[in-house]
Amino acid sequence: MTLEVQSCDGLPNGSLRTDWELLLDEDPAATVFHTPRYLGLWAGALGERTTVRSRFVVRDGRTIGIVPEGHERVGSPTGPAEVVRFLGGTAVTDYMGPLSRPEDRDDVAGAYMHLLADTRDWDEFVAGGLPEDTGWAAAFARHAERLGLPVVEIAEDDVCPRVDIVGGYDSYLSRLPGKRRHELQRKARKLAREAGELTVRELRGDELAGGVETFLNLASATETTKAGFFQEERMRDFFRSLSTEFAGDQVFRLHVLEVGGQPAAATVSLVWRNTWALYNSAYDPNLSALAPGMVLVGELIRLAAREGREVFDLLRGNEPYKYRFGPSDRRLERVTIARR
């Protein structure tokens, strides 16, 4: 068995791009965030400070792993440092890391750590956004220690609350505690009673561009902890690019909840394989007491179950509202490794 790591600057085209697309189909943990399409949009819109490299782990002539890598020069108490991370910024990229079949993960982690051990153009490897159930963080740490690379820490990076919708919407409701189930139904009735008739619309085609602007404006009006996230023009451009790239194959979904004919809440979802992921949501702050955002998310769970999806992923963050839908946390890990 011969293992080698091949590298290219930027994101690949041609046969290497084909290898990437094929491996997406073989990795059950792959998400839209692992696709070269998504990562290319991120690098173009938000990765101006990042040097992009693609690492291909090859065994006996066959690509068994892909590591999308970003180098960034950052300040530190001891001077500038070269930090290696997985491609995609944590502000907009919920899952990160390599691609491989489950049985190849250890070989891929070992080959990649060998590459880092043999190169000197980095000071710290900060590998975040790794789902605990994939085993990537432990594999990187194990191989780093074997090669004499100091493992600074393995820590929880975040959690992604996920709702089980296997079996359809009625099965989902039956698994909810009675109080939660009645709360979801009661909120929708109260919103309709006090604000007007409810209509959920998915915007497509000619309506999509205007719908994206409606979402961005609502998000800008309601954001709190993200401190101007949606007021940055480059971030707004990134969301516009996502809609252009992914709407055609129904990965990008934009829904608007209208109350009395006016937008009360809007969501952007990324739908990939058996998972409907709630990427971002916004609502009219004048209606916040009536929870239009909660009502819309509840309706999206119904739509996802009707399509036969199995997971409704609320993505990064443990915000209290997410737990009203009865999810279980998927833990994300981060491993930090220093050069000798």
For the record, the structure tokens of 56 come out as 């291909």
Predicted pLDDT at 256: 97
Predicted pLDDT at 221: 86
- Annotate 271-324 with DSSP letters as a single string: EETTEEEEEEEEE-GGGGGG-HHHHHHHHHHHHHHHTT-SEEE--S---GGGGG
**Is beta strand 275-283 parallel, antiparallel or unpaired with respect to 262-272?**
antiparallel
**Is beta strand 262-272 parallel, antiparallel or unpaired with respect to 252-259?**
antiparallel
Rounded to whole angstroms, the Cα distance separating 34 from 99 reads 7
> Pick from 111, 117, 139, 127: which is nearest to 340 by CA?
117
> Low-confidence residues of the chain, pLDDT below 50?
225-226
Predicted pLDDT at 229: 80
Which residue matches tokens 């073989």?
26
Q: pTM for the whole thing? A: 0.94
- H or E element in which residue 338 lies: strand 328-338
285 close to 306: Cβ distance less than 8 angstroms? no
The three-class DSSP label of residue 39 is helix
330 close to 156: Cβ distance less than 8 angstroms? no
17 close to 71: Cβ distance less than 8 angstroms? no
For the chain, the first-to-last Cα distance in angstroms comes to: 28
Predicted pLDDT at 283: 92
Rounded to whole angstroms, the Cα distance separating 18 from 32 reads 16
